[in-house]
Amino acid sequence: MQAGAPMGERRAATPVLGVVLIWLATALLMLLATGGKIGPAAFLDGDDALRLQQVRDLLAGQGWFDLHQYRIAPPDGVAMHWTRVVDLPIAAVILILRPLLGQFQAEVVAMTLIPLLGLLSAMLLSARLAARQFGASAGLIAALMVVAAIPASFRMMPMRIDHHAWQFVLALVALNGMAARTPRVGGAVAGLALALALGISLESLPLAVIFAGLCTLRLWRGQREWLGAYMAPLALASAVFLLFSRGFSDLADHCDALSPVHVMVLLWVAGTCALILPRLRHRPPGLSLVALGAIGAGAIAIMATRAPQCLGSDAFAALDPLVKRVWLDSVVEGLPVWRQGLVLGATIILLPLFGFIACVRLRLAANDQATRDWWTDMALLLAGATLVGLLVARAAGVSCLFATVPAAWQFQGQMQAWRADRLVLRRLARIALLMGLVMPGAFVGMAGNAVLRKPAPPPASAMCKLPEFLPALARLPATTVLSGLDLGPAILVTTPHTVVATGHHRASAAMRDLLLAFLGPDAGARAIMARRSARVVVICAKGSETRLYRRLAPNGFMAHLADGKAPSWLEPLPLAPQSGISAWAVRPQPAPRSAR
């Protein structure tokens, strides 16, 4: 049974066929938008490229629990904080299709199909909630709004094979669980979904806390079963996923991935809730809240005793200061909303805002307490997810997806008003309002850019043509390459070479060496390359990373290379000069003269 709709009202089934048709049309448009450029050299993000490399290593025989990338940060490699869970569907598609299509085409299908299946899952989950509360047409509108929720759907396009899409889908699964009227089933669904999300990435931890807070609110209302029904599956499944993905090979308490200390805290909370809360069933709810406060204090004590470094608000506190200042502060997706462009920033704010307003309106219009409670819960979940998304842009996909459910009702109401309105001018105004409800960020952002006369930056592909350069680089004998952090993953996945570093924080020491090399003098770069056994340098002179390094160090090694002033110890390599990417090799040292 579904919460949200009035008690006793018949709930519409999910319009699966309609959602699938919308999905097929969207998938076709997304494929057309790629221009046929689907392959290892066409990744938009380094995380997606490295994900494919991780899958390749797994299929080539690297151990399930061995998450090292041995071709980054020579000579030791780097132990990644990622999980194998996301590798499974990609690897399965490749294994199934490789005998029929060959390795390359099997990878192309996997890179296309897996993100689109994530999009379909999100559309169906959002449509399910909207349809059961407002009818089948609202379900179709919600599915369409999932596509328009740019912070989420952008990460579900072909080639976007990293973990973010599955975290968004699991958040919607948890939301569907909280909408159930049966605590045992709903709590278990939400707990299991968020446990898997935590196993994929610890970025889901704030959302898991928000859901626990909602279960606590329900306890205060008298719905005591929710908290235990949620916490027990969350804790137990987190322990299972940790053993499944990490085994006993890495039991250190990391702050950037699900670790034993996190499982201990979850088991403590779940176990004490199971022992104490039933004994307070017939006591005032306030006493249960006091007990929960003591349980929370115990959880903090466990964390402070075992992993005090993980208690701070900065998850990257251990990162080298230079790496944090130059690299981390330039990763746009990890920055707050006020550091984003107008289109993305407006979408992050407006779509959840429209959804929150709809929740308030629905609560005010509700005829029974259960429905009022549900829309209060929905508003709180949406508000919590929105706060997280405002602080970290890549998390905004969750709040935008949550907002599609109440916003679909608001859109449906405007559609009905548009049909009933006979005044042409008002109908035109309502059309603009409807379009704004579907894609608020696009309209506000484009209008803002037009007013500010802010030109759109040229796409990176126009300046750094990787598909033209990488095959030429791949023909060189395998060596270690000093390249920008952004170019590193593409080099890994398309060539046999090793790279000094990529934009992944576990390789902090290697990233520092790379930055010191490019920002420092030529002689310093030579020494770092010798220490890292790097024999080739690759840069894109007009790329954004090069522009950043030149601004920070106008007389540094990168600035010299970009200006065509390479030091004498480098010789140019004529590799696809039309690509906009330049390469140099370290000149061999002359053999010493024999003593006479």
Give residue limits of the domains in the chain.
Answer: 165-310, 463-586
pLDDT of residue 426: 64
d(CA 74, CA 107): 27
Q: What's the length of the chain?
A: 596
| 110, 45 Cβ separation under 8 angstroms | no
At which residue do the structure tokens 């499982």 appear? 263
79 pairs with which residues across the strands? 68
Tokens of 293: 């406060």
Q: In terms of pLDDT, which residue wins out, 474 or 455?
A: 474
| Confidence grade of residue 471 (pLDDT, cut at 50, 70, 90) | very high
pLDDT band at residue 350 under the 50/70/90 scheme: confident
Confidence of residue 489 (pLDDT cuts 50, 70, 90): very high
Distances in whole angstroms, Cα of residue 548 to Cα of each of 326, 335, 404: 8, 17, 37
What is the reported pLDDT for 152? 93
Per-residue DSSP letter, 367: S
Q: Give the residue-averaged pLDDT of 364-390.
A: 94
- Please give the average per-residue pLDDT across 20-39, as a whole number: 91
Taking each continuous run of H as one helix and of E as one strand, the counts in the chain are 25, 7
pLDDT tens per residue, range 428-444: 666 666 666 666 655 55
Kindly tell me if the per-residue pLDDT of 2 is higher than 50.
Answer: no
The whole-angstrom separation of Cα 579 and Cα 148 is 34
Angle at 37 between CA 31 and CA 40, to 5 degrees: 115
Report the mean per-residue pLDDT for the chain: 88
* Residues 592, 594: Cα–Cα separation, whole Å: 6
The string of pLDDT tens digits covering residues 244-295 is 888 887 788 888 889 999 999 999 999 999 999 888 888 888 888 999 999 9
3-state secondary structure of 573: strand
Separation of alpha carbons 11 and 1, rounded Å: 9
Which residues 6+ apart lie within 8 Å of 96 measured at CB? Answer: 106
Highest mean pLDDT among 133-142, 326-335, 344-353: 133-142
pLDDT in tens, 216-255: 999 999 888 999 999 999 999 999 999 988 888 778 888 8
Q: What is the rounded average pLDDT of the residues 6-12?
A: 51
**Would you place residue 35 in the very low, low, confident or very high pLDDT band (cuts 50, 70, 90)?**
confident
> Which class for 55: exposed (0-12), middle (13-18), buried (19 or more C-beta within 10 A)?
buried
What is the predicted pLDDT for the residue at 48? 93
Q: Are 404 and 149 in contact (CB under 8 A)?
A: yes
pTM score, two decimals?
0.90
Q: What is the mean pLDDT of residues 173-179?
A: 96
> Residues 551-562: what's their mean pLDDT?
95
| pLDDT score for 568 | 92
Per CATH, the architecture of 463-586 is what? 3-Layer(aba) Sandwich (3.40)
Distance from C-alpha of 224 to C-alpha of 285, rounded to nearest angstrom? 9
pLDDT of residue 423: 67
Residue-level pLDDT at 424: 60
Residue 6 has pLDDT above 60, yes or no: no
Give the pLDDT of residue 552: 94
Q: What is the pLDDT of residue 179?
A: 93
Q: In whole angstroms, what is the distance from residue 280 CA to residue 347 CA?
A: 44
Please, which contacts does 454-457 make with residues 24 or more away whose CB atoms are closer than 8 Å?
Answer: 454/342
Q: Containing H/E element for 538? A: strand 534-540
Cβ distance 484 to 545 under 8 Å? yes
pLDDT band at residue 412, thresholds of 50, 70 and 90?
confident
**Burial environment of residue 550 by CB neighbours within 10 A (0 to 12, 13 to 18, 19 or more):** buried
- Alpha helices by DSSP H, listed for 45-163, are 46-59, 87-101, 103-134, 136-148, 150-153
Q: Average pLDDT for residues 507-515, to the nearest whole number?
A: 94
Partners of 534 in the beta sheet?
Answer: 480
pLDDT digits (tens, 9 = 90+) for 74-133: 888 998 888 899 999 999 999 999 999 999 999 999 999 999 999 999 999 999 999 999
Say what the pLDDT of residue 470 is.
93
What is the Cα–Cα distance from 321 to 324, expressed in whole angstroms? 5
- Please determine, for residue 11, whether its predicted confidence score (pLDDT) is greater than 70: no
Give residue 328's pLDDT band: very low, low, confident or very high (50, 70, 90).
confident
C-alpha 184/C-alpha 215 separation (Å) is 12
Give dist(CA 528, CA 388) in Å, integer.
39
Q: Which is higher by pLDDT, 594 or 496?
A: 496
Average pLDDT over residues 496-516: 93
pLDDT at 10: 47
Tell me the mean pLDDT in the region 572-588: 90
